Amino acid sequence: MFIETNPVPAKTALAKMGKITFEVRLPMVPLSPEHERELDAALKTAGLV
């Protein structure tokens, strides 16, 4: 969750778990592909997806 210093990692995780629809407004932007892979791995390790 602390890959980046904004709420986007948390929003991305919630969207991947099917809890919310992912959307961000400027100045926030989606995670970089590298950080999204890290988040995916963490969610799988935790058994959340």
In a domain, 28, yes or no: yes
Note whether residue 20 is domain-resident: yes
Query: Directed axis angle between helix 33-45 and helix 8-16, to 10°?
Result: 50
2 pLDDT higher than 90: no
What proportion of the chain, given as a percentage, has pLDDT over 90? 86
- Cis-peptide, bond into residue 27, ω within 30° of zero: yes
Q: How many domains does the chain divide into?
A: 1
Q: Is residue 29 part of a domain?
A: yes
Residue at 36 is within a domain: yes
pLDDT digits (tens, 9 = 90+) for 18-36: 999 999 999 999 999 999 9
- Would you say residue 40 has pLDDT above 80? yes
Cβ within 8 Å of residue 3, ≥6 positions away: 9, 31, 35, 38, 39
Domain range for 15? 8-45
Domain-located, residue 3: no
pTM (global) more than 0.95: no
Q: What's 4's DSSP letter?
A: S
Indicate whether 2 belongs to any domain: no
